[in-house]
Amino acid sequence: MQKIGFIGLGIMGKPMALNLIKAGFPVHIYVRRAELLRELTEAGATAHASSKELAEQVDVIITNVPATADVEEVLLGKNSVIHGAKPGAIVIDMSTISASATKRIAAQLESKKIEMLDAPVSGGEKGATEGTLTIMVGGKATVLEKVQDVLNTMGKQVTLIGDHGAGQIAKACNQIIIAETIVAVSEALRLAEASGVDAAKVREALLGGFASSRVLEIHGKRMLDGDYKPGFKANLHRKDMHLAMDQAHLANLTLPGATYAMKCIDRLVMKGHSELDSSAVHIIAEE
Amino acid sequence: MQKIGFIGLGIMGKPMALNLIKAGFPVHIYVRRAELLRELTEAGATAHASSKELAEQVDVIITNVPATADVEEVLLGKNSVIHGAKPGAIVIDMSTISASATKRIAAQLESKKIEMLDAPVSGGEKGATEGTLTIMVGGKATVLEKVQDVLNTMGKQVTLIGDHGAGQIAKACNQIIIAETIVAVSEALRLAEASGVDAAKVREALLGGFASSRVLEIHGKRMLDGDYKPGFKANLHRKDMHLAMDQAHLANLTLPGATYAMKCIDRLVMKGHSELDSSAVHIIAEE
C-alpha cells in the first residue's frame, strides 16, 4: 500500500486521515498542535518535524489546509514538500483554493517531477467522518488512476473534471450553488412565516416536489430549529465565495445571484457569527 | 364515489382529469375547446354548458385555471359555480393564484355553505400525467378529509399547510425556491464554461454532494443540452413569481434573491421566450 503523508488535520482532515489509517494505509503526519499529534499517533500515524521530512518518507502527500497561502507554504515554502518529495511522488491538494494558483503550483512541482491533483471536497464533517465525500479532481487521468484507492477511502464519488485547477472550478460552482440555495430557502421560509403560515409544513411539502434540495432538507431544518452549530462555518464559506467570485472576475462574469449570496455571508461574518454554520444567513436577514 | 366537476383542462388539468376518470370517479367537465371536449367525453367525461350547470350535478368542483381573475369568473361570475353548487359541495382550487384572493373567495363561497380548499400543485406535466404531484392544501382539515381520495388520485404527497390561502403561500415559496435555484445552477454552469471546464462533468460531480437538487438534475440537464421544451413555461413561472412578490410585499419583505430571479424570468419573457421552459433564463444571461 502507498505510504501517505497528511498535512492539515482540521475538522475535515482529521477524520479523513483516520479513515486512511483504518483502511490500512501507513499514514505520516506533520502537525503542530500537541493534542492532535497525540490523537493521531495513538491511532497509528507517524509524526514528522516538517513537511519536507514527511515528504521524504511517503509516496502520496495529501494537503488539506485553509487557504491558498497555506498550500503554497507547505508545498513550496521553506522546509516544505517540494524540497523533500521523491520524483514520481503525488501531491493531492484537497484544500479549497484558487484555480489559477493551483495551476501555478502544479507547474512548479512538475519541474521537480512531482505530480499534483487538485481534489477539493463537498460533504462536510459528516462526509469526512463517514468516508462519503464528493471529490472533484483536476489533473491527469493517469495520476488519478494511481491514487484512486486512496481517494475512494475518503469519498464515495470521485469525478475527474479536467486538467489542473478544474477540481477547484467545480468546487467554486458547488459553493455558489449552495450559498444561493441557502438564500432561496431562507427567503421562502421567511415568506411563509411573515404570511402567518407554518414554515415547517411548507418545508415538508416542498421536499416532495421540484423545489427539493439537500439545502432545503438540511439547512431548512437548521433554520426552522434556529440551530446553527456547523456543519460548514460561515468564515470558510465566505472565503470560498470570494474565491469563486475572483474566478468569475477572471472569466469576465458578474453572477448577480452569487454576488448577493456572498454579501449575505459577508454580513453574517461582519456581525460576529463567523463560527456559525453559513445557513445562519437566515438570522441576519431578519434583523 | 363522489361526482367530480373539473374546470380548466389545460396542460396540467387534462391529465389530472383523465387520472380521476381512470380511478373510476364520475367526471363532469365544462370546456370550450371542441377538440378537448371530444377527447374528454370519449374518455368518459360528461360535458356541461356552463360552470353553473356542472356545479348542479356534482359533489366536488375542481378548478385549474391560469389566474386569479379566471378563478373568480368560474366560481363567482355569471353562470358560475356559486349559482349552481349544492350546500355542502366542496370546491378544490388547484390553480396558482393570490392567497388573499383565495381567502376572499372562500368567504363568499362559505356564505352559500360551499366549502373550499386551495390546493396548488408542484410537479409539472409529468407529475400530473403520472399522478405524482405534490399538493399543498389550505383550508379545513375536516374538508380535506372528505376529498383525500380525490387528491390522492392526482398526487403522491398531499400536505395540509394551514387555513385558507396557506396552500397558495406554500406554492409561492415553492416557486421562488425553484426560480432562485435555476439562477444558481445557471450561474454555476456559466462559471464552469467560462473557465474552460466541462460543465457536464461539474453537474455530474455536484449531483453527488451538498449542492444537489431537483433543479440541478433536471434543469441543469436542460441547460447543458440547450433543450428548453417545457416543462413549465416561462410566462407561467413569471406570473407565479409576481404573485409571490406581491405576497412578499403584503408581508413587508423584500427578498432580494427572489426579486433578481423574477427579473431574469421577466427578461426571458420580454425577449419573446414565454413559451420556453423557465430554465431558459440560462440563455438570456449569456446574451
Give per-residue pLDDT as tens, A156-176.
Answer: 999 999 999 999 999 999 999
pLDDT of A287? 56
Task: Determine the pLDDT at residue B200.
Answer: 98
Q: Is A257's CB within 8 Å of B261's CB?
A: yes
* C-alpha distance from residue B136 to each of A203, B95, B241 (Å): 11, 11, 17
Q: Which of B201, B202, B262 to mutate to test the interface with A (most CBs of A within 10 A)?
A: B202
Exposure string for A85-100, b = 16+ CB within 10 A, e = fewer? beeebbbbbbbbbbbb
CATH of A4-163, one of 3.40.50.2020, 3.40.228.10, 3.40.50.720, 3.40.50.970: 3.40.50.720
Burial class (CB in 10 A: 0-12, 13-18, 19+), B53: middle
Instruction: Write the burial class of residue B218 (CB in 10 Å: 0-12 exposed, 13-18 middle, 19+ buried).
Output: middle
Chain B interface mutation, best of A160, A163, A173, A218, highest count of B Cβ atoms under 10 Å:
A173
Integer Cα distance of A66 and A73 in angstroms:
11
**How many CB pairs (< 8 A) connect A and B?**
249
* pLDDT surpassing 60 at residue B287: no
- Residues of chain A found within 8 Å of residue B286, distances taken between Cβ atoms: none
- CATH 1.10.1040.10 positions along chain B are 169-286
- pLDDT beyond 70 at A286: no
Give the CATH fold of the A169-286 domain.
Answer: N-(1-d-carboxylethyl)-l-norvaline Dehydrogenase; domain 2 (1.10.1040)
Q: Are the Cβ atoms of B122 and A210 closer than 8 angstroms?
A: yes
- The mean pLDDT value for B254-270 works out to 98
The answer on pLDDT for A207 being more than 80 is yes
User: Percent of chain B at pLDDT above 90?
Assistant: 94
Could you read off the pLDDT of B204-237 as tens digits, one per residue?
999 999 999 999 999 999 999 999 998 899 999 9
Under an 8 A CB cutoff, do B194 and A251 touch? Answer: yes
How large is the average pLDDT for residues A26-32? 95
Average pLDDT of the segment spanning B41-62: 97
> pLDDT over 90 for what percent of chain A?
94
User: 88-147 in B: which are within 8 Å (CB) of A?
Assistant: 99, 122-124, 127, 133-134, 136
Q: What is the mean pLDDT of chain A?
A: 97
Q: Is the pLDDT of residue B75 over 70?
A: yes
> CB distance from B7 to chain A under 8 Å?
no
pLDDT of residue B88: 98
Rounded percentage of chain A residues whose pLDDT exceeds 70: 99
Three-state secondary structure readout of B128-185: HHHCCEEEEEECCHHHHHHCHHHHHHHEEEEEEEECCCHHHHHHHHHHHHHHHHHHHH
- pLDDT at position A124, please? 86
- The verdict on a CB contact (< 8 Å) between A173 and B216 is no
Contact at CB, A191 and B170, closer than 8 angstroms: no
* CATH 3.40.50.720 domain extents, chain B: 4-163
For residue B286, the model assigns a pLDDT of: 64
Residue B47 C-alpha, separation from nearest chain A C-alpha, in angstroms = 32
> Is B119 a residue whose pLDDT tops 60?
yes
Does residue B238 surpass a pLDDT of 90?
Answer: yes
The pTM of the full predicted model, rounded to 2 decimals, is 0.95
Confidence at A32, pLDDT banded by 50, 70, 90: confident
Q: Is B86 among the catalytic positions?
A: no
Residue A219's pLDDT is what? 97
Mean pLDDT of A214-241: 96
The cell for A171 is: 468546487
